[in-house]
Structure 1
Amino acid sequence: MAQTALVVIDMLNTYDHDDADLLVPSVRRAIPAVAHLLGEARDRDIPVIYVNDNFGKWRSHHGELLDAALAGPHANLVEPVRPDGSSYFIVKARHSVFYETPLAYLLGALDVSHLVLCGQVTEQCVLYSALDAHIRHLSVTVARDAVAHIHEDLADAALRMMEINMGARILPAAEALG
């Protein structure tokens, strides 16, 4: 069976952006499922890889991004899904977890060929990351209750595109890690 990794996309967030009012309620609903995936992956020694926007702070590192998110008004959305000492962390600047990041190299070093994606935003970063995984011949599962959206209709369309066009499995978090 393929080595699996859990990829947590953009969950360290200050929610200080234009779409935050639309995004926060969806994140709030997704948090329990993301936390479930994190707990299961850690219990089963499945690699957990956080890939997070740097919000244009080019001299920052993961600790600073986490501290800023925990100091913000929505720390309650970050605390339950914060990285632990065994988590990998990659900073990204654009939508895809692969774009200009060392993720492909790390996955190769870990012998990972299957990604379980969770996080935000379904119709943006999750969609583009699933596409980039697909074109790299990685299998993808998206935990549908562990992804958050800005626009529900676009998120539904994105999940359908991932399933039909990219062969992604769209499953509840309770089934996503197999």
Structure 2
Amino acid sequence: MKTATSRKVLLLVDFINPMQFDGAEDLAPAAIEAATATAALKRRYRREGWSTIYVNDNFGQWRSNFHKLLTECRRARGPARTLARLLAPDDDDLMVLKPRHSGFYATPLQLLLEQLGARELAITGLAADFCVKCTAMDAYVRGYRVWVPEDCTAAESEERKRDALDWIALTLKARISPSTGGRRGA
């Protein structure tokens, strides 16, 4: 079966997340806000015919798969369940598990994006100052146009998020703006 083309692609980084790490309690409220905004953006991308790819940490579980992780998060209590409910994948969404911080490192993401004919990436997710930043950097060096919808990202503090988004805008020439419009950065 041939993969459809999609010049624009929405990447959801680490939203399907058991939220079991130091700092999760600080990240959780902002993560839920970001997931709510991302769900609306995802619906818009879907209406416009663009692809969505979940790029998720494997949390060191080398026998894991995305659907098992999703099931575990749906069964959990608290923010993990809320995130999974807000951003449950549709049947035609794509999934990539990553072993480290960047969605590109040691994953098939680059090949998948090439097959889709992607040129522009909207990078959303957790956390803006780590995995989103690393994924955006790797997208930039591969020649993709990068947009980071600021309301679709979260970090453990607003200051860490703002610092990361400022760095992404300045260094990667990425567009930083709300998912609903407006413009900040390049």
CA-to-aligned-CA distance 1:104-159 (integer Å, 9 cap, x gap): 10110000011001111000001111110111111100010010111321211110
- Asked whether 1:51 is paired with 2:55, we answer yes
Match of 1:34 among 26, 38, 61: 38
TM-score (ref. length: structure 1): 0.94
RMSD: 1.3
CA-to-aligned-CA distance 1:53-109 (integer Å, 9 cap, x gap): 011111111110100111111302221111110100000011101010110101100
Aligned to 1:106: 112
- Cα distance in 2 for residues equivalent to 1:129 and 1:31: 18
- 3-state SS of paired residue (1:39): helix
Match of 1:124 among 125, 130, 137: 130
Match of 1:20 among 11, 24, 28: 24
- Asked whether 1:63 is paired with 2:67, we answer yes
- Cα distance in 2 for residues equivalent to 1:28 and 1:61: 23
Match of 1:133 among 136, 139, 145: 139
Aligned to 2:180: 174
Are 1:36 and 1:174, in contact at CA under 8 Å, matched by a contact in 2? no
Listed as ranges, the gaps of 5+ residues in structure 2 are: 1-5
- Cα distance in 2 for residues equivalent to 1:164 and 1:106: 27
- 3-state SS of paired residue (1:158): helix
Deviation at 1:31, TM superposition (A): 2.1
Deviation at 1:27, TM superposition (A): 0.7
- Cα distance in 2 for residues equivalent to 1:166 and 1:8: 19
Paired AA for residue 50 in structure 2: I
Aligned to 2:169: 163
Deviation at 1:29, TM superposition (A): 1.7
Match of 1:88 among 83, 94, 106: 94
Are 2:15 and 2:35, in contact at CA under 8 Å, matched by a contact in 1? no
Residue correspondences, number: 175
Runs of 4+ in 1 over 3 A off after TM superposition: none
- Asked whether 1:153 is paired with 2:155, we answer no
- Cα distance in 2 for residues equivalent to 1:168 and 1:20: 27
